[in-house]
Every structure is written in C-alpha cells, then in structure tokens.
Structure 1
Amino acid sequence: MLAALIAFSTLGMLGVSARDGANWFQSVPADLSTPPVPQRSVILASDGSKIATFYYENRVDVPLNKVAPVMRKAIVAIEDNRFYEHGGLDIKGTIRALASNIAAGQVTQGGSGITQQYVKNLLLETASNSEERDSAVATTPARKVRELRMAVAMEKRYTKDQILERYLNIAYFGDGAYGVEAAARHYFGRSAATLTLPQAALLAGVVRYPFAYDPTVYPKTAVERRDTVLARMAQLHWVSKADASAAERAQLDLHVTSTPNGCVESSAPFFCDYVQREILTNPIFGSTADARKLLLQRGGLTIRTTLDSKMQRAAQRAVDHYVPQKNSSHKASAEVLVQPGTGAVKAMAVDRALGPSEKVGKTWVNFAADGDHGTSLGMQAGSTFKVFTLAAALDQGMAFGHRLYAPEHYAPTGLRACDGKYAGSTTSLSNAADGEGGRSFSLVTGTWNSVNTFFLNLEKQVGLCDTVKMAERLGMRRADGKPLEQVASFTLGANTVSPLRLAAAYAAFAARGRYCEPIVLSKITNANGRELKVPSAKCRQAIRKGVADGVNHVLRGVLTQGTAAGMGIGRPAAGKTGTVDDYSSAWFAGYTPDLASAVWVGDPRGGYAHPLRNVCLAGRCYGEVFGSDIPAPIWRETMLGALRGVPAHDFHSPPSEYYREGSGEDLVSVPSVVGMSASAARSRLAAAGFGVVTGSSVSSGYSRGTVASQSPGGGARVEPGTTVVIHLSRGAPSVPHPPSNPPGGPPTGGPPTIPPPTFPPIGDTAGNTPFGRLAGESGQAVRTGNG
C-alpha cells in the first residue's frame, strides 16, 4: 500500500487520475525493448587464434545454464531472495527497506528487486547520449516510477529465469568486469560455469557496491561482504551451515587476468590496427563514424581475418632481425605478405611497437599501409616501379631481345601524360653504378641490372601514359589516396606508395595477371551469430596471362644473375630491388606463385634528411644501403619461414613470341675445342654454360676421336646456353697415293695447328670477381620526382 501511495502520489503530481494511473501502470509500455547490451568484439587469425579484443565494456554473454547453480543461488539470496515469488514490484521488500531506512535515518537497504535492477542497468547501458544516461541515474520519483512500470512489463514478457540470465549478464562486478562470465574470468581465470561456493559468494557480494567491495582494492572488505552472502545463503537453507563455514575459511585466492582492449598488446599490432581502421572507416559497416565505432566496441563481433600466424611470425622475426626495434640509427622496416589470386593479406609486420612515437621503438604510424589505414603518407618506391614499364613493353609485344641504348646520362624529354600535357624533363638523370651506361641492353639484361637510363628510354618508347595505366591496372595508387603522379621519373619510382599496395601489385604477376584488392576480413558474425557483409577483393584479370608470364620469366633472373643474385629461396621465385634517390630508402618486392611480399627500409624522420648512408644495423655496417643489402635478405628470411611446409609450384613458361629476338641475355664467346678429345671438349663447353651435341663424324687430319670441327665455331658470339655441335674425326681419308709432283707445289707436312684454349672470365654468375662486385643496382640512387 505504501509503495502504491508513493507511485500514485507521483502520478497525481503529474495530473493523472488514480484509476487511469493504475491502468497506465499495469499496461505494457509501447517503447518497451531489450536491446543487446555492449559486448566485446574479438579479432581472430585464420587459424582461430586470438589477435585482439575490443570493448566498450568487458562483457561476454552466457546462457543461464552456463552459470554455476551456486552462483545463481548466491546472487538471488543477497539481492532478492523472494525473486521467484513476487511480481515486478516486491511490495513487502519495498516496505521493509523503507522502514529500515527511516529507522536508520539514512539509506541502508535497497528496495529494488532483481527485475528492477535489471531495468535500471538496461536503461543505463543502452543510453545513446548523455541526456539519456543522466535520466537513467536521476534520483527522481519519475525515474523510479518508470523503472517500476518497466519491471512489471518485463515480468509479463519474460520468465524469471530469462530475467535472471539478463541480469547476470548486465550487472557490473567491479574492476572493469561486466557480466558474470567476464567477472569469473577476470578474478579467477575460470568460466562462470565452474565457480565454487566461496567464489560465487564473493562475486554476488560485489554487485551492491562494486567500487567499495572490489577485491583487488579492498580485499578485507570484500571478504567480509562474501561472508555476509554465505550467512544469508545458510539462513535461507540454500547451503548447509557446514558448507558456509568452510567457505568462510577459504582464502581469497584471486587469479586476476586482464583482458587487453585494442591492438597495443596484440601479437600482430599493425595488422590489428589495419583491421580496426577497416571497420571504422568502411561505410559497409555503418553509415556514420559513430555507428561503426559502436559496432566494433559494443557489437560482440567475431572478426575472422586472413592473417596466417606462421607467416606473421616469420615476417616479424625477419624485420626485427635486420632492423632492430630500438636501433641507434632510428631506421625502420615494414613488410606485407599477400596471397596471389585472392588478395588475402597473410602478414603485416613493422619493426616497432604500437604506441606513441615519442618513445623509442614505438609509433602509431603503420608504415606498411596507406594513409586511410595507418596515417602513413607512403614512401618513394624506387626501382621496384620499373616492373610496370617492363609489363607495358611486353603488353605492346616487345620481345625479350629488344635492345635499347642506355647512355650514361639521359634527359627524359618528349613525354606526354594521359591528359596530353607535356610531362618531359630536361634534367639529366644517371645510373648509380659506374660503367652501367654507354652500351645497349635488352629487356632482360636492362631489368636484371636495373639500368636507369635504359628504363627512361624504354618508358619513352612505350609511352608514359601506357606505363602509368599499367601500374593503375595493377592497383597502384599513392598512399595518400591521390592518383599517381605522371612525371618523367615515373618508372624510377617517384610516387610515394605503401608496401601493401606494392605487394598486391606483384601478387598479380604471380597470379598470371589476376589482380585482387588487398583484403584482411574473411568473415564477421555479430553477437546473435548473424553474418555481416565484408569487403570483397574484387578480383579481375588486369593483364594478359602471357604478359605476366613474361614478367615472371625476366624477374626470376634478378635473383640469379641480377641485382639480387644469391637471394634465392630454393624454389621458383622472382623479384625486383629498389633504391631511392640519395639512398633515402630501399625496397625489395618478390614473390613465388604462392606468396608475394614487399619490404621497405628507411627512416621515419625523413629519408632525404636521414639517408641510408653509414648505417649500422644488427651488428653490420653499410656505407650505402641498396635494395639488395637489407630489404632482400628480410624478404628471403621471411619467405623461407613463411613457405616452410608449403609445396613449391613453378611459374608458367612465357609465350614463344617473346623469344623471336633471342633470349635477351648478353652474348658470350664460344670457346674453341677443335683438336681436343671428345670428353675434354664436352667438359670445356659445359663449364662455359653451353649445351653439347655430337654430330656425325668426319674425315680430317685430326687424330681419330678428337674434335675435327664445331658449330658455332670458336670465338663466335652467341647467347648463353646455346647448344654447340661437335664433329669427331675418324682420321685421314683413304685416297690413292698422290703423284710425286702434285699441282700447287709440294705437300706440307706436320699436324694442324691447334689454337690455344680460351677460358670463361673469372667470377661467379652473380658478377662477383676476386676484385669485388662488378656493378651494383644501377637503378638505385637516382633523382626521382622530387628532383
């Protein structure tokens, strides 16, 4: 009656009659709803391992049957022991609490039952703005009446067990733990289903005043409150006095486990940060930034990603090995691995911890990604961009043997951008290595040696616009999101890009011209198990298969006979080094048919102000850092680890039309083997890299079984690997004795003169001689778009 008077006196103040007020109070509110409360989202690798957790409140919903019965008894005993007996409004409990509070002269006992407490928490948790939050906690009669009315309606809509389940999942248990499951994991490192009697009593006691009874801050007060709960359970005969007494003697025995929130403590922090930004910026996850943020922090999402844990570890070890996190040179490295044909990002590593850049070895900037996914403005790509000019040349039908003169200096004049505007330059550009200019190169050898002036000449012949369009077809864009700059030094890598974009472009070559947008999300489900739409890779055939096969064929030689010789990984692979003007940064992009990667090394403070000169990293010092010095070894170590256990696959052979002008390799001299024994001749030719076939025997003045003739002949200039046919002598021909005085003078006597043998040049196929390396990457230190 007293509670009714309170309610109806309030209604009277609002101008509502007692009869109408009663009907209004008992009716179900039109706006009654129980929206889901905030739940934490989890990001998983492709194997199901956890990468990170995001939450507004640390909460994990569980059904009531996943909560230990003793926990259910404990919370009901201390908060509302008549819960299963009364309706939404417990008149008896309200009067008892009011009388107690009047006698004490202060609030000593709450009159709200579990249903009312659930309603109060629900209104607070689902408030979408500060006004609604203030209304949910306001100490006014109107707020109390609203709660009571909603509690009555809840009792009509849901069973007691359903209400108790909702209450246990919404209640705050202190120290950042929301809901009984999160609390059990946080305080005891176990699930709510396995809670013991003393553990359950402790958690039940915390709910009334979570801050005052927080066992991590006030353990003595928390134990006293726990014992109060145990005594109440024994008084109600819900546990025996012996069990309650034993539980009171139990030690607190906390095993506090914190749940990291966000990417800072993730095992793949920059990949995690990329995933977070993908969800927060992509309209597919909500029309506004606030909606997307709410979805991530409150939606209880299970986010399955493309990350391969083994590949991520391999990439992280490699970048940390060659460019340590806290190196004194302040240099940094980033690497991205992309799966050809799918666009799936398998790893993303930066040699930094995620955190404020003011601290050594930390940064918030994701050097591996574009600006919209990591705030990086990108880095000039250097000679890795030459591959787009090569691809454009092959697309136009140029053969491997197509040769162009590469002067020591070249001014790229006469170029036109796609809009027809003049884009040439009178600035003379050069090669990085002495001796690389002043001769002709083929598509093959010009690429292997990364000759700047060759590619500037090739870009002019192919056309700047066609070169730019080739890069755009393969997904290239500036890291700041703007279109590629169409400048004369485009082929030398003047544009600032991200390792992610470059890796995806090279992955298209590995996939025989099939380009896929890089993706990190494979599947997302919300708290109700409903699957959400995720971005598509939008795979398409960007270039002809034959063109990609031709590029692969040429780039394979970079790892065997070019600027990255010696960086092979024991399986078919291809790649391209890159070094930027004045050694401001260095790159390597490489791939197999199964995996593509791009590696960047530079200085976050600015490459031109802090170039890669006189640098010491990981116990090794470099006068100047080329793409083959640090980025290529990082790539090699990563690929060896990432592909361990993955079957090797080979590239497809390029179309035969590309061989119409030969293989494109530089011509070599055939050694003369005439007069040598057959075995010695074969050994000599094989050692020089030639194939050997024995033709028909011929009569000659050479001894029987020795080489009488060869084709091509000794001294001929041919392509490496050419097959040489040798003809063995079967001795002098049988002929009648000549007249005593034959025409032409007396016969000459003695054996034929055998020319002295010639030997291949000293050194290995990588160009290493006893006097040092012949020529470094000529495309490595040039003036790029910055001049």
Structure 2
Amino acid sequence: MASSKSPLFDTATTVGKIMSFLGVSALCGVLAAGLIFPLAATGGATAAAGTEILEELPSELREEPLSVPSHVYDADGNELATFYAENRVPVDIEDISENMTDAIVAIEDERFYEHGGVDARGLGRAIVHNVTSDSEQGASTITQQYVNNVLINADFLRGEDRLTISGSKTYADKLREMKLAVAAEEDMTKEEILEGYLNIVLLGGRNYGVEAAAQYYWGVSAADLNIPQAATLAGMVQNPNGYNPENNPETAESRRNVVLGAMLRNEYITQEEHDEAVEAPLDLDLHPEYAGCVEADSAPYFCDYVRRVILADDTFGPDQESRDQLLNRGGLEITTTLDPELQSAAQQEVEDTMTPGSVSGAAATLVTVEPGTGDIKAMAQNTEYSPEEGEGSTELNFNVDAAFGGGNGFQGGSTLKPYVAAAWLEAGHSMYEIVDAGRDQFAQGSQFRASCLPNGAATVLDDGGWSINNVMDNSKRPMTADFGLFWSVNTATVNMAYELDLCDIADLTTRLGVTQAGDGAELNPQNPSFVLGSENLSPMTQASAYAAFAADGEYCRPRAISEVTDANGNEYDVAGPQCEQAMEADSVAQLNETMTNIADYNAQDSGSSFDFPVGGKTGTNNEQSSTWFIGYSKGLSTASWVGSYADMTSLNNRNINGQVHDEVYGSTIAMPMWVDYMNQIADDYSTDDFRSPDNSPFQNPDSTDRYMGGNGREGGNTPDNDQADDGSGEDDGEGTPGGDADGGTP
C-alpha cells in the first residue's frame, strides 16, 4: 500500500507546495464560475476572494469521539442491553478484509494512493462532465469524505445547526473540506485515513462502519468479508438506504456489480473472481443489534432503572442531555450488580404466581437487595416491558419510585409497623413493655407529640376524630409491644406512637431511606395515620430499609452499577456502597426477635416453610388491592408485592392462576411467592443467625408460645385460626385513613 505522502503533493518540496496551491486555488476559481457546484444563496465566493477565503479557513480537523454503542452487563458479564444512536464497532485496519479496502478504493477513489487529499485529475474530469452534461458529478476523494464525516460527527456532538451534508455545502464548506483533506494527508498515513473512513461511514439503517455492517448483514466480522459482501457494502456508501440490501435487494445487487466492475478494472480481482461474484446471491443473514431496554435479553425493568440512574447522575455529564448522548454514543461498558441466577429465579416466580396479563390491572413483583452493600440483586415484574398499550404491558416499573420509572407506589399497610417498633426501642422502651392498646378513639383536636412541627404536635382534625379498629377478638387491651407487633394490632401501634414523638418515628424512617414513591418526600408526621401505612411506598424502598434489620442497623442506599468505562478505557468514578449506621445494633437485635417469629408463624400458616433464619412482616391495605411480604435473611432482603396497579380494585374473589380467594392478604399470595423464591437462592448468600440482643427480656425468644394466649402476660383468648391470615382493619377515620388492613394478625 502506498505511502501517505505522494511526492507530487508533498508540501515539503517546492513543487509540492506549488501543486498544492495551484490545485486548490484553481478550484476556487472554478467554484466561483459555478462549473462544479451551484452557487449557494447564503454562501457564495468570488474568484477574486478565493485566496482570502482559503487563508481564513481552519487547517485543523475538529474531531470528536465517534459514536459507539454502550453495553449493560449483569454482575457475571452477561449482556443485558445495548444503547446506541449509531451502531458501530471500531476496528483497526488490520481487522478489515483486503477485499473491503480494495472495493471502497475502486468505487469511491481509484487514485486514493496517488493524490494528496484532493485529486486534480478527478476534479478535471468532474468539471468537464458538469459542463457538458445535464447531470452533476462530484470529485470528493476518500480523504475528503472522511473529513466531511468527521465534521458532521463533530457538529452533531457540539450541537451546531449547520452540518456539511451533501446538498447543503457552500463554497466555503467545500473549500474547508479540501483544505482539511490536504492537511489530513500531511498528518495521517493512507492506512489511518482508510481505517477512519471505514469506521465512520454510514452503511444502512443505523449501522456505521464496516464491522457493525458486516455483523448486521451477514453475521461475520469485517476481517472475513468476501468479495461480493465487500462490494455490496462499498456500493452502499453513495446511497446508504437506497442501496440497502435488506430493503432494496435488486438495486443493491445491481450496485454491487458496478463495484465489482470497478474492482476488475483496477485489477483488484481477476475476471474469474468477478464473474463468480456477479453470479453470487446477496445471501443475507441478518443479525440485528437491538437497542434499548425493550430489547433487553433479561431484566428489562432493571435495565430501565440503570438507564435512569445514569441520566440522573452528574458523574456522567452536567445535564440530562449530555448524559443521554454519552449513553447512546460514548461506548460505555456498564457492569451492574444484578445476579443473573437470582434474576432468573425471581422472574420465573412472579410469572408462576400470576401469569402475565391474566389478571386485569394486577401484577406481581420481587426485588432483592443485599444487606451491607445495597446492591440490587434482582428486580422482577410479571408484566411485559413495552410502550405498546395492551393487557399486561407497561413501561412502569412497580418496584421503584416515580423518579426512576415507577408509579406512585402502594400503601405499605402493616409493613410500616416495624418502624414504629424500632423507634419504640430507640426511645429506651422494650418489646416486653406493656402498651395500652385499649384506646381506640382519638377525638377531634387530639394531639400526638411531634416536636419538628410548628406547634410541636400533630392534631387530629377530622370531624368525629380518628377511630382505630382491630380484627383479632379481645385485642383492645393492654399487651406487650412484642405481642402487638406479632399480631399486627392497630391499636397497639397507634398507642405506641402516641407515647413517642412522631418526628422521631419519621426521622427513623428517613434514616432507613423510606420516602414516598411519588415525589420522594419524607414521611410526614403531620398525619398520625402514617404509622399504619397510609403512605405510598415502592418495594425497593421497603427492601432496602428492611435490609438494615438484617445488617445490625446499617442502612445502604440501593446500588445498581458497580463499574463503568468508556470506549477509550476511561473509568468513571462510580460510587461504591453508600452505607451508614442508621440504628443501634442492640435495638435491631431486639426487633429481630419479634420479626423472626412473625416470619416463622406466617410461613407455617400459609403452608410454606424455610430452613434458615428469616425476619419479616406482611402488609395489606384497606381495599386489599395491595399486599406485601417483606422479609430478609442475613444475606438478602426481598420485598414481595402482589396487587392492583391500574386502580384500587381488590384482589378478593378474582381468579389468580386458577385460585379464587374470598379475601387476599399479605400472607395469601405475596408471602408464599417470597418463600418459593428465597428457598431457591438464599443459600447463595449468608443465612447465618441474626445477632442476639445483649439483654433479651424473653426466656424463650424463638418460641411463638407466648403469642397464643394464656401465658400469664397477655391473657385473653387464643385468636381464631380462621383469622390467622391477614385480617382486615376498618377505616373509621372519616378522612384520616389508616391505610392498613392487618389489624389483628401478623
């Protein structure tokens, strides 16, 4: 292959300088006379001014990085999705078939190895043609085309309006292109120019560069392109979509044969090779590289969450537009925290629990985070990730907050009660301490202490006050905090809150990352009913908060991305686990004594079981349209949610995978789904015992005997077995919703 600097145009020599000057200067005069390109109304030049214009034009090529697709991977390196504006895989010239370089030179610039960026002979030929013919013929060399493509790429990335595309060039544009082409030939070898050109050129659809095009049309690398394949791609350069073999096979084949003729004429192929290639079919074997989360191989909702995390993080650019460009053009390699085995198990479980699209407006979800890191290990939803309208199709990610692609969340119900119990312990109380759960009415004007509010209190404002009801018989009476949480007694939780400062409860939920799904606001102590789960929360928020119970009080922000590098190997400063001690370890240990008993009892009652330590809590809202089980082992915290998302339609008496339940609670579907899923994957992470409290008041902390009545402490009747599923608390608050239906069973 020839040297980059043709002796004729080597401007280091006197002859070279003269030839270079005469070639470009003559062109200025020709352009001014209108012999090659029609005068642009906004950018003409005269022959007299040609030299001055040339002097003012830039001599350095304004380059920007080529647009390269970004790839998202799970923690094991499996690709989840690709993002791109231009499908491109840059390769070195050594990795491009000689057939391809021969074909492109033969059809686009047969004197490529002889000229110095501007081909005077080709220019003269074009002048004669344009003077003597009604049609126009260009004379752009491969170097000029390369320069033009680089300018287009730079203009786009810099947000400049005027691109030097064909048909929009002024004389000044063409002069600039030619001057830069000569300069490029001075700075680059022919091989470098050819490599750059073959990596930047559009070859149909959104396929840029020969490697991406070869992979797309035939599933081969650019290094393995045969003669007819190379000729097909080379033929597309002039009209990438018009000569696209996928959409216009006959036209593409005809154009390919023209290229083959040029290759024969320039002695790149023999007559025999030419004849064989002309007879060859296009033989396409399409391998589309789908873009975006809609085409994600797995975990499309997690993919969407990752995309939104990047768009929201100034690590990846000063504004959302620049971050979006980086994602679609920067060649990012994004490694996430997703565990493919957990994700596969979670997705299968939500679909087995509720067949996609089978229950109108309802869904099942699972999301798992790792205590101690916050790493998101699985995020599954039984709907199809799709922008198309249809039953069971939605782009809404029910596992996350609205800011990251979710909706407004779901009422937490009794899953909020452990936070009240945690605040109770932090205030110096014990789970064995007696709570007066007999008070079930707070008159209008009643005040709950709330030191962070302007008047230091939250006031019950509703006409008729706030009435609280339970389901379990004989539950409006004194009882231990432990007993009240175990049986999810509404009056016990409310009266614990009454003895506390509501702002302390809200402060604890804030430390545990609990915010409202719709707007990200902290829980508001202005309305005391928040302690019964009236606020809307996302499953991931809940899973992350409960993970702190597994991690001895250490809360870690949810984390989806572990590593990011760009196309040049630059590594972005992606934050590691962001954790802080949100609760005292001993308070958590006391809480876990009750939480493990709740999980054990509910599992047995729902016909499920697990053989490793688990803490957790069910939850159901008043309408029984939103049901939960949030549970945790030492190594994993998972929120299981089953409910209605289109409206507040109850799950009662609806056919869910062949079963119809008169009443649906957290222990009915959500908890068995959680148990089935966790039994498959829990052993992949720690299943050690939780920390024991330093001074437990319980002689037999792992026994549920103390919850069954007649133990000399609670008294009263043993609850009916019929109520051992989640009961339904009534909302008699007249505008002060309790948001809770777990008023008497765990």
Same fold (TM over 0.5): yes
Which residue, out of 259, 263, 279, partners 2:293?
Answer: 263
Matched position secondary structure for 1:304: strand
For 1:504 and 1:364, locate their aligned partners in 2 and report how far apart those are by CA, in whole Å: 23
1:215 Cα deviation from its structure 2 partner: 0.5
Aligned to 2:317: 286
CA positional deviation for 1:429:
3.7
Secondary structure of the 2:660 match is strand
Counterpart of 1:416, as a letter, is: R
Structure 2 CA distance for aligned equivalents of residues 645 and 101 of structure 1: 73
Task: Determine whether 1:123 maps to 2:151.
Answer: yes
Distance 1:377 1:508 in 2: 24
Please give the per-residue CA displacement for 1:112-140, whole angstroms capped at 9, x wherever unaligned.
11111111122222223462226775143
From 438, 441, 454, the counterpart of 1:407: 438
Cα distance between partner residues in 1 of 2:618 and 2:707: 26
1:133 aligned counterpart, secondary structure: coil
Q: CA deviation at 1:2?
A: 7.4
Q: Which residue number corresponds to residue 51 of structure 1?
A: 80
- Structure 1 pair 780/10, CA: closer, same or farther in 2 (3 Å)? farther
SS where residue 284 of structure 2 aligns? coil
Query: Paired residue for 2:692?
Result: 653
**Aligned counterpart, 1:248:** 278
Query: What SS does the corresponding residue of 1:445 show, helix, strand or coil?
Result: helix
Are 1:581 and 2:530 matched, yes or no?
A: no
Name the aligned partner's letter for residue 610 of structure 2: I
Q: Is the 8 A contact 2:614 2:631 kept in 1?
A: yes
Among 605, 615, 624, the alignment partner of 2:646 is 605
Query: Is residue 6 of structure 1 aligned with residue 45 of structure 2?
Result: no
1:229 and 2:229 aligned: no
Q: Give distance in 2, aligned partners of 1:66 and 1:100.
A: 37
Q: Which residue of 1 aligns with 2:534?
A: 494
Matched, 1:558 2:598: yes
Amino acid at match of 2:366: E
Q: Tell me the CA shift for residue 428 of structure 1.
A: 4.1
Q: 2:343 aligns with which of 297, 307, 312?
A: 312
Instruction: State the SS of the aligned residue for 1:552.
Output: helix
Q: Which residue of 2 aligns with 1:570?
A: 611
User: 2:608–2:672: 8 Å Cα contact kept in structure 1?
Assistant: yes
Q: Of 52, 60, 64, which residue of structure 2 is paired with 1:35?
A: 64
- Residue 628, structure 1, aligned to residue 628, structure 2: no
Q: Which residue of 1 aligns with 2:508?
A: 470
1:382 positional shift = 0.7
Pick the aligned partner of 2:120 from 74, 88, 91.
Answer: 91
> Which is worse superposed, 252-261 or 434-443?
434-443
Cα distance, 1:352 vs structure 2: 1.4
CA distance in 2, matches of 1:626, 1:632: 9
Aligned equivalents of 1:44, 1:581: Cα separation in 2: 40
Instruction: Decide whether the 8 Å contact of 1:435 with 1:775 is kept in 2.
Output: no
Partner of 2:480: 442
Change (3 A) 1:490 1:567: farther
* 1:328/1:179 CA distance change after superposition, 3 Å: same
Q: CA deviation at 1:495?
A: 1.3
* Distance in structure 2 (CA, Å) of the matches to 1:476 and 1:250: 65
Cα RMSD between the aligned structures?
A: 3.0
Once residues 23 and 139 of structure 1 are traced to their aligned partners in structure 2, the CA distance between those partners, rounded to angstroms, is 15
Match of 1:484 among 494, 514, 523: 523
Q: In the alignment, does 2:201 pair up with 1:171?
A: yes
Query: Distance between the aligned counterparts of 2:216 and 2:698, measured in 1?
Result: 67
Out of 459, 471, 483, the residue aligned to residue 433 of structure 1 is 471
- Out of 229, 233, 249, the position equivalent to 1:219 is 249
**1:369 Cα shift?**
0.9
Return the alpha-carbon distance in structure 2 between the equivalents of residues 141 and 556 of structure 1. Answer: 79
Q: Is the 8 A contact 2:515 2:537 kept in 1?
A: yes
The answer to whether the 8 A contact 2:350-2:381 is kept is yes
Match of 1:384 in 2: 415
Bigger shift: 388-397 or 421-430? 421-430
Indicate which of 97, 108, 125 corresponds to 1:79.
108
- One-letter identity of the residue aligned with 1:341: G
Verify the 8 A CA contact 1:400 1:662 in the aligned structure 2: no
The alpha-carbon distance between structure 1 residues 658 and 96, as it changes in their structure 2 partners (threshold 3 A), is: farther
Residue from 565, 572, 587 that aligns with 1:525: 565
Highest Rg: 1 or 2?
A: 1
Offset at 1:184? 0.8
CA distance in structure 2 between the partners assigned to 1:555 and 1:669 by the alignment = 16
Cα distance, 1:19 vs structure 2: 9.4
Q: Please name the residue that 2:7 is paired with.
A: none
Q: Per the alignment, in what secondary structure is the counterpart of residue 617 of structure 2?
A: strand
Return 5+ residue gaps in structure 2 as ranges: 1-21, 34-43, 739-746
Q: How many residues align structurally?
A: 691
Task: Identify if the C-alpha distance between structure 1 residues 43 and 137 changes in structure 2 by more than 3 Å, giving closer, same or farther.
Answer: farther
| 3-state SS in 1 of match to 2:588 | helix
Q: Which amino acid aligns with 1:638?
A: Y
- Matched with 1:505 is 545
1:283-362 correspondence runs (5 A) = 283-356=314-387, 358-362=389-393
Q: Cα distance, 1:20 vs. partner?
A: 5.0
Residue 401 of structure 2 corresponds to residue 370 of structure 1: yes
Q: Contact 2:211/2:221 (CA < 8 Å) preserved in 1?
A: yes
- Judge conservation of contact 2:610–2:679 (CA < 8 Å) in 1: yes
Per-residue deviation at 1:719? 11
Distance in 2 between residues matched to 1:669 and 1:520, nearest whole Å:
43
Equivalent pair of 1:572/1:592 in contact (CA under 8 Å):
yes
TM-score by length of 1: 0.82
C-alpha distance in 2 between matches for 1:662 and 1:521: 39
347-356 vs 271-280, greater mean Cα deviation: 347-356
2-side partners of 1:101 and 1:402: how far apart?
99
Structure 2 CA distance, aligned partners of 1:423 and 1:553?
Answer: 31
Please tell me whether residue 614 in structure 1 is matched to residue 653 in structure 2.
yes
Range with bigger deviation, 468-477 or 351-360: 351-360
Q: 1:436 to 1:78 in 2, by over 3 A?
A: farther
Normalised by the length of structure 2, the TM-score is 0.86
1:355-393, CA deviations, whole angstroms, 9 ceiling, x for partnerless residues? 237321111222111111115122111110111111112
Per the TM alignment, residue 69 of structure 1 is displaced from its structure 2 partner at its CA by 2.2
The counterpart of 2:679, out of the listed 640, 654, 666, is: 640
State the AA in 2 paired with 1:142.
Answer: A
Aligned to 1:422: 457
Distance 1:606 1:293 in 2: 33
Checking the alignment, whether the CA contact within 8 Å between 1:580 and 1:782 is kept in structure 2 is: no
Give the gaps of 5 or more residues in structure 1: 671-714, 721-760, 762-766
Q: Label 1:662 to 1:44 Cα distance change in 2 as closer, same or farther (>3 A).
A: closer
Q: Deviations over 1:491-522 (max 9, x none)?
A: 21111111111111011111111111111111
Task: Report the 3-state secondary structure (helix = DSSP H, G, I; strand = E; otherwise coil) of the residue aligned with 2:528.
Answer: coil
Q: Which residue of 2 aligns with 1:738?
A: none
Q: Map Cα deviations across residues 337-358 of structure 1 (whole Å, 9 max, x no partner).
A: 1111111111112221122373
Residue 431 of structure 1 contacts residue 778 of structure 1 at CA under 8 Å; is this kept in 2? no
Distance in structure 1 (CA, Å) of the matches to 2:421 and 2:588:
10
Match of 1:546 in 2: 586
Specify whether residues 80 and 564 from structure 1 end up closer, same or farther in structure 2 by C-alpha distance, changes over 3 A only: farther
- Asked if 2 retains the 8 angstrom alpha-carbon contact of 1:445 and 1:664, the reply is no
CA 717–450 in structure 1, closer or farther in 2 if over 3 Å, else same? closer
Among 142, 155, 178, the alignment partner of 1:148 is 178
Inter-partner Cα distance in structure 1 for 2:168 and 2:655: 63
Distance 1:377 1:51, change over 3 A: same
Aligned equivalents of 2:602, 2:640: Cα separation in 1: 18
Shifted more, 166-175 versus 422-431: the winner is 422-431
| Matched letter for residue 133 of structure 1 | L
User: Using a 3 Å threshold, how does the CA distance of structure 1 residues 637 and 98 change in structure 2: closer, same or farther?
Assistant: farther
- Residue 733 of structure 1 aligns with which residue? none
Q: Is the 8 A contact 1:558 1:564 kept in 2?
A: no
| Contact 2:597/2:615 (<8 A) preserved | yes
